Amino acid sequence: MPLPSTPKRQRTGARRHRHRLADVAAPIERIGQSLIDIAGFRFNEADPSVRQIERLGFRPSNVTDVFLTHADPDHTGGLADFPEATVHLSIEEHARVTEGHARYLPSHFTHGPTWRTYPASFDRWFGLEARSLASARAANVLLIPLFGHTLGHCGVAVRQEKRWVLHVGDAYYLRAELSTAEHPIAALAAQMADDDSLRRESLRHLARLVDEHASDIEILGYHDFTEFPSQAAPMRSR
Ligand SMILES: [Zn+2]
C-alpha cells in the first residue's frame, strides 16, 4: 500500500492523537507476535520517547523535527506519538518505505507522517557525503549516508559547539565491529544488511573517523549499552 508522502496534509486533532502510545496499547495488532518475539521488544508505558520527553517538561507538540537514520521497526516505534513533527530521512530510505519493503512495518506510518527527503549531495563532511537538512531548527544537523544496513541508511551528525556527535544508527550494532570483522555479531549484521558490501564499507569509514578525528567527533550507536549515557535508566527486562 502506498504510504502518505509530502506535502503536509490536513489532519484533524482527533486523528493526530489517535495513535498515541499505540504500540504499547496494542502491540500484537500493531507489530505482530512473531516480530515481537524475534526482536525481543518490551512494552511499558513509561518508556516511550513521548513519556521521557514529558518527564523533561516538554509537550509532544514541542517535537517539531524527527531525524530517521532508517525506518526499521525498532527505530520507528513511537513515531506516531509526534504527528506534528516533520520526519527527515534520505530519499533512498523513503523510497524503500513507500515501496512497502518487507523489513518495514506499515502500521508505524499509517498516521501519515510529514516526510522531508534528501537526495545525494556533493557536500562533504570529514571526507563523507553530507546532506544538509532543510529545517531552520536543524542548521547544525546533517544526514551522513552510511548505506548497507538498509539502502538509504544514514548517520545523523549534530554539531555541539566545537565538536560533532555522529549517531550511526545501525551502521554497527556493537562498537567492537569497528575494530574486528570477526566479532560474533558480524554474522547477524551481515544477515540484516540489504547490501553487505556497502555495510562493510560504511564500517571502514567509521573506523577511519575514529582513528583520525576522535577529537572532533563523538560516535555512538543505538544498540550498544556501553555507549548509553551513564545516567540513562537501564531497559526493563521482564
Ligand atoms: Zn536497523
d(CA 137, CA 133): 9
Distance 140 CA to ligand 1 centre (A): 24
Which of 116, 104, 106, 59 lies closest to 82 in space, CA to CA? 59
3-class state of residue 227 by DSSP: helix
Centroid of ligand 1 to alpha carbon of 27 (angstroms): 19
pLDDT of residue 19: 61
Instruction: Return the CATH number of the domain spanning residue range 1-119.
Output: 3.60.15.10
Residue 14 alpha carbon to ligand 1 centre in Å: 31
The CA 182 to ligand 1 mean position distance, Å, reads 20
**pLDDT for res 226:** 83
CA separation (Å) from 191 to 4, 148, 156, 159? Answer: 29, 11, 23, 33
How remote is the CA of residue 170 from the centroid of ligand 1, in Å? 5
CA 145 to centroid of ligand 1, rounded, Å: 14
| pLDDT for res 2 | 32
Cell of 28: 500484537
Instruction: Judge if 1-119 and 121-238 fold alike in CATH terms.
Output: yes
Q: From the CA of 13, how far away is ligand 1's center (Å)?
A: 31
H/E element, 178: none
Dist. CA 72 → ligand 1 center (Å): 5
Nearest CA to 16 out of 116, 135, 117, 113 is that of 113
pLDDT tens digits in sequence order for the chain, 238 residues long: 333 333 343 344 444 555 678 888 788 888 888 888 888 788 888 888 888 999 999 998 999 999 999 999 999 988 999 999 999 999 999 999 999 999 999 999 999 999 999 999 999 999 999 999 877 666 789 999 999 999 999 999 999 888 999 999 999 999 989 888 788 888 889 999 999 999 999 999 999 999 999 999 999 988 888 887 665 444 443 3
How far does the centroid of ligand 1 lie from the alpha carbon of residue 12, in Å?
32
Distance 118 CA to ligand 1 centre (A): 19
pLDDT for res 24? 83
Per the omega criterion (within 30 degrees of 0), is the bond before 7 cis? yes
pLDDT for position 20: 76
Domain ranges of the chain: 1-119, 121-238
Q: How far apart are CA 163 and CA 216, in angstroms?
A: 5
pLDDT at position 31 is: 83
Rounded to whole angstroms, what are the CA distances from 69 to 150, 155, 211, 213, 237? 10, 6, 23, 21, 26
Residues 169 and 156 sit within 8 Å (Cβ to Cβ): yes
Burial of 237 (0-12, 13-18, 19+ CB in 10 A): exposed
Distance of CA 135 from the midpoint of ligand 1 (Å): 25
Q: Compute the distance from residue 9 Cα to the ligand 1 centre, in Å.
A: 28
| pLDDT at site 157 | 96
Taking domain 121-238, whether its CATH number is 3.60.15.10 is answered by yes
pLDDT at 222: 84
Centre of ligand 1 from the C-alpha of residue 211, in Å: 25
* pLDDT reported for residue 137: 66
Interhelix angle 196-213/185-192, nearest 10 degrees: 120
CA atoms within 13 A on the CB side of 34: 1
